[in-house]
Structure 1
């Protein structure tokens, strides 16, 4: 069952001082947002050995590989543009280790949220369950991102995120001793608050390329293709893999 990164978007000045992070420009009344554990994954079993190839999630769409010890994940994507109305909506795009069946997630990515009808673009990293850190660097729609999360398998992690369009790179060296290293994923997500998944920003389509795990195309691991849905409503669909490491996620419903 996938878990996800914790994101606190509406934070006080005092909390920002403690966390040392620049928060996005959201309305003061915005809820406390988290990328919470994904508690409603429904597998669809296919094939003679009932291997899980597809599942439905309340807040994830993309691919997750399990069944091995994972020490690296990489991917590239293009930051999608948001269509904002008067409603506040939220979306994130990231790569990470862990989170699918474990309570730690080591991850980094980009975001576009709608607040008061305006899109807010930014990037971040997180070593869940610790609080996230938002980067102050500029992010704009159409920016090309490349990213990697790697570990030596003994608690040391390197999270690297580059916006090659804006010309900046952030590299974070972190320690987490109890990481499961049980999954690798490339995900588009609807963040959550204490009540569950929040409305998903209309990001149209996000395209991921060069998706690898342990240095091999993620398709090598027969990964789980995840569709985001709430009841009978599909919120975001995931395409099939091309070349073992390229796919897209398409917004369907907020």
Structure 2
């Protein structure tokens, strides 16, 4: 089952096991070296993240991940961040990321209005964590979706030109409920489609691995 989106590509579990809710999502990815995308721009970017909710359940997303950017001059930069949508994304400070590093993402909701996000750079051994509360009473989690995504994210109200991120594979993908863990079996594939053109190629390689190719 494939969905098309202007900004998301990857894998989404659109419903938890019957009668349960998702309270955790985790996975790993290797940080890519972005190349310039199409057209002329001052920079091109994309973001790799994992999160709870935001697909069929649209009120909120609890998420964390890493942005990668290449400037028109060829400079590559990385920022890691956390977000309880619809609040803004905030950068983790003092968490350095380089191409080729393995980043583990862990999203744990202790309730519908509270959660902890953790990024671990397994290549450097450094970890950052943040406990967040829902930004308001209408932005609580439903625990209905779990996702592993490359996003063409928005900045200052418009989408950034998408970088050629090569191939990013999320491995060790697990979503948890209070009583069980599930993988990618039955996940929906999401592809980015812009200006009538599909710019990604997503393959669910196993119950725990999804490959996203630009």
The TM-score range, normalised by the shorter chain, is 0.7 to 0.9
Name 1:184's counterpart in structure 2: 146
CA distance in 2, matches of 1:173, 1:198: 28
What is the RMSD computed on CA atoms of the aligned residues?
Answer: 1.8
TM (norm. structure 2) is 0.85
Higher helix proportion (structure 1 or 2):
1
CA distance in 1, matches of 2:81, 2:158: 21
Query: Equivalent of 1:98, from 35, 53, 72?
Result: 53
- Relative contact order (C-alpha < 8 Å, sep 6+): which is higher? 2
Name 1:75's counterpart in structure 2: 27
Contact kept? 2:45, 2:152, Cα under 8 Å: yes
Contact kept? 1:58, 1:197, Cα under 8 Å: no
Cα deviation digits, residues 63-90 of structure 1 (max 9, x gap)? 0112222111110000001123763111
Query: Equivalent of 2:4, from 43, 56, 70?
Result: 56
Name 1:218's counterpart in structure 2: 183
CA distance in 1, matches of 2:141, 2:169: 28
Name 2:110's counterpart in structure 1: 152
Higher strand proportion (structure 1 or 2):
2
Between Structure 1 and Structure 2, how many residues are aligned? 197
TM (norm. structure 1) is 0.72
Contact kept? 1:219, 1:241, Cα under 8 Å: no
Cα deviation digits, residues 144-184 of structure 1 (max 9, x gap)? 01111011234220111101112210111112252222211
Unaligned stretches of 5+ residues in structure 2: none
CA distance in 2, matches of 1:122, 1:195: 19
1:198 Cα deviation (Å)? 2.9
Name 1:114's counterpart in structure 2: 70
